[in-house]
Structure 1
Amino acid sequence: MLSLIFSQWHRNDEKDTNFQEILKSLCLRAQCLKQTFPDVIPMPSFLQKIRFKSVWERMRLQRDYQRKLINFHKDTFDPYMIRDLTDQLMMYVENGDDKGLFASDDMENLLLEISGSGFEETAITLTWLLGYMAMYPAVQGQVQKELDYVVGRDKDPCLDDQALLPYTVATICEAQRMATVMPFLYPHQAVKKSMLQGYDIPKDTWVLCNVWSIHYDAKYWKNPKKFDPTRFLKDGKTVLIPDFFLPYGLGMRECPGQALATLEIFLYFSHILHHMIIRSADDTHSFYMEGELDSFLHHKPKPFLIKAIKRED
């Protein structure tokens, strides 16, 4: 994410002190949000201040560092050479596309939010994916066979390969369906009295969408408890995404980072399987994962042990 926002970041930046400080900020924020439901159940302002004091301090430090990078971009900005998202935003403002409504603080806050987008959900999805590969070695083998055929062994997968790897993409989709990391979408509230499929919904009623029920409904999915990537393939060659597949929600409140999260998960997953074979820690075929809900209603796997074996070139 930081490479997309600030192109100065490279592969070895995880050794950089500033990078570690930003990572601490994101981890702390994720941990804090899991403790209660700050966006669902309001808390007294004085309790919010106590609870989020350390988070705000880390966000301030991250803003200070980002401000330095933004200033560097301003000093070196070239409209004919867009390097990253920061340059794109500056071009957006300079061309007047924001109609004078985009302030400097808006850019800082937006970049701060984007840097942590999908931080928790992407990690949970990848954890499920690795566990499923240990559970279903035949599926893993098919993904690796496709990667070897399309990408080859002498280079890494890239975004251009995604359209040519339908089984790999279908495997990711099936893992998202089976895991359903967000079993319930964020609560909505009826702004007026409504009726939905014969049910009266009074004004101000909280409404939750049960995505888990949809993803395991036998009316939509044949053998819904079976891990089967081919359900997302048409004629075994083309990825087909049905309307009742909702890992990112639906409609106006659909996750705005869906496209970005999809690319991130694809790159991580394809790189890992391109280089590693995932097995259960004891090499048995009885490996099985169990899920649990954390306090922020993420469906995540309980801790499990696997091993990664380097593939031969």
Structure 2
Amino acid sequence: MLRFLWESISFQTLLIFLIVFLLVADYMKRRKPKNFPPSPLSLPFLGHIYMMNFTDPQITMQKLTEKYGDILSMDMGSVSFVLINGLRMIKEALVNQAENFMDRPEFPINKEIFSKLGLVSSSGHLWKQQRRFTLTTLRNFGLGKRTLEERIQEECRCLMDAFRDEQENPFNPHLNISNAVSNIICSITFGNRFDYHDEEFKKMLRLMDETVSLHGAIMSQLYNSFPSIIKFLPGPHQTIFKNWKLLKKFVKERIDKHKEDWNPSESRDFIDSYLQEIAKDNGNGTFEEENLVACVLDLLFAGTETTSTTIRWALLYMALYPEIQARVQAEIDTVIGQMRQPALEDRNNMPYTNAVIHEVQRKSNIIPFNVPRLTVKDTVLDGFHIPKGTVLVTNLTSVMFDKNEWKTPNTFNPEHFLKDGQFWKREAFVPFSIGKRACLGEVLARAELFLIFTALLQKFTFQAPPDTTLSLQPKLGMTMAPQPYKICAVPR
């Protein structure tokens, strides 16, 4: 009977049946609960991919927000998420209902790299343990203390020497800035800095930079939507996986070196401190070597990429706005002069310089959609039902460029952070995110930005090379970075 039925069914009938089955299955999978945030028309299997501008997704999100309001839902292939906009809504989710949106989703491309380990991708008890330990350890090794400030000042001197070596010729500052910033977190993590001519470390910095950039490639983004298909295809996602293996190898080699001369009673750096915790953990799984590798790489990426990218934007803006650069230098000359290095205690006496740094962060907006969250339990947000397990994306761009919060949101304008000649701290300034999962390195990053930026402008004037037009067009990756550029550092 079965054989008869099989032989009597035409190929066309079987194909139609299969298509109908897949459409019904896709509809059932995407079916949203009652009172879920509104959504544009979703296509079978593709979701809203047809609407996306992959080179500048903020354009798409802005149009959708104007139509659907501050909360909406979207499907990107197999991934569904809720997008929220505006300071009121983001504060409600990340501060007032922080416990409900505390976890991290596991995207396919990240699953291939770390799964749910480390500081960025972990959730629940594991995340709390890793974050608490890391904050304590960073403080033990100088975070917020004079010793760390001295490390940053030392790195500023090395960076200025590297800039002087360029002898006013056009050069790309990217690698030297990354090396300088990375050395500060490396001194805490590995116990040492790396010379700017260290080929092995330069190779690692290039791997990190390439990986950050490739995460913005279309195929890498599509991997999260269609992993079962894209993983068999060539493309930048394959390079990402290869690079992560090399970066893990770099960190593991340094952990092994630490083990060789490790003294359990003496802690030289973050790795030593973590090895002590592994020894105390007695195999409970919270502290283990794989997690140590993930935490170190999280610190390296977060401690290098975000700050170095912001400094690259800062130099670009100074070259494009020479009148603002001149005003910063005048304040530096008045408060600090040329005989000593900038110190953190100078910051309170330099409102304009502080305002410029904040405006660079606001305008460059390097992490426009924050790091996604995962809903821990069924909850209600602005009257909408958000089920447990829903991915939440917070659109920081909607806050940093809100025309109701900023006088000229689309213009580089340090006056946004000045009031009656004094620095004005703005609630709508959220580059480090807010709430319990805000950036744990904010204190370090703010210290680095002030000391490095001020030290560079104290000794150099930055200009575009002759017959060159610098561009503010960003390059999409893990962060929104400037396009590669060359600049001239003219000694003052």
Deviation at 1:43, TM superposition (A): 2.1
SS across alignment from 1:209: strand
User: Structure 2 vs 1, CA of residues 136 and 38 (structure 1 numbering), >3 Å: closer, same or farther?
Assistant: same
Match of 2:369 in 1: 184
Partner SS, residue 208 of structure 1: strand
How far off is 1:44 after superposition?
Answer: 3.3
Query: What SS does the aligned partner of 2:202 have?
Result: helix
- The structure-2 alpha-carbon separation of the partners of 1:301 and 1:117, relative to structure 1 and needing over 3 Å to count, comes to closer
Post-superposition shift, 1:310? Answer: 1.0
1:134 equivalent in structure 2:
319
Amino acid at match of 1:174: E
Instruction: Call closer, same or farther: CA 1:55–1:293 in 2, change over 3 Å.
Output: closer
Distance 1:41 1:291, change over 3 A: same
Task: Provide Cα deviations, 1:243-268, integer angstroms capped at 9, x if missing partner.
Answer: 21111222233233333332332233
Match in the other structure for 1:248: 432
Inter-partner Cα distance in structure 2 for 1:27 and 1:225: 27
Comparing 43-52 with 163-172, greater Cα deviation is found at: 43-52
Change beyond 3 A, Cα 1:102–1:132: same
Equivalent in the alignment of 2:212: 30
1:143 corresponds to which letter in structure 2?
V
- Quote the residue 2:444 is aligned against: 260
Give the one of 53, 63, 66 matched to 2:254. Answer: 66
Structure 2 counterpart of 1:194:
380
Residues 291 and 25 of structure 1, relative CA distance in 2, 3 Å threshold = closer
Match of 1:106 in 2: 291
Q: Distance in 2 between matches of 1:161 and 1:300?
A: 28
The alignment partner of 1:74 has SS state of coil
**Is structure 2 residue 482 aligned with structure 1 residue 310?**
no
Measured after TM superposition, the shift of residue 26 of structure 1 is: 2.1
Task: Check 1:4–1:158 CA distance in 2 against 1; reply closer, same or farther (3 A cut).
Answer: farther
Q: Deviations over 1:167-196 (max 9, x none)?
A: 222211111112212222234455535241
Contact 2:309 2:481 in 1 (8 A): yes
| Root-mean-square deviation over aligned CA pairs | 3.7
- Equivalent residues of 2:373, 2:392 under 8 A apart: yes
Aligned residue pair count: 299
Please give the secondary structure, in 1, of the residue aligned with 2:302.
coil
- Kept in 1: contact 2:464–2:487 (CA 8 A): yes
Q: Secondary structure at the match of 1:220?
A: coil
- Map of 1:115 onto structure 2: 300
Higher relative contact order (CA 8 A, sep 6+): 2
Alignment CA distance shift 1:226-1:86 (3 Å): same
Is 1:291 the counterpart of 2:477? The answer is: no
Change (3 A) 1:168 1:43: same
1:277 Cα deviation from its structure 2 partner: 0.2
Rate the CA distance shift 1:86–1:73 in 2: closer, same or farther, 3 A: farther
Task: Give the TM-score of the pair, scaled to structure 2.
Answer: 0.52
Name structure 1 gaps, 5 residues minimum: none
Q: Which residue of 1 aligns with 2:404?
A: 219
Secondary structure at 1:263 match in 2? helix
The separation in 2 between residues aligned to 1:159 and 1:100, in whole angstroms, is: 40
| Structure 1 CA distance for aligned equivalents of residues 486 and 192 of structure 2 | 36
Could you tell me whether the CA contact under 8 Å between 1:25 and 1:55 is conserved in 2?
yes
**Structure-1 separation of matches of 2:227 and 2:343:** 45
| Aligned-partner SS, 2:196 | helix
Q: Which amino acid aligns with 1:301?
A: P
* Residues 293 and 108 of structure 1: CA distance in aligned 2, closer, same or farther (over 3 Å): closer
Q: Percent identity over the alignment?
A: 27
Whichever of the two has the greater Rg, that structure is: 2
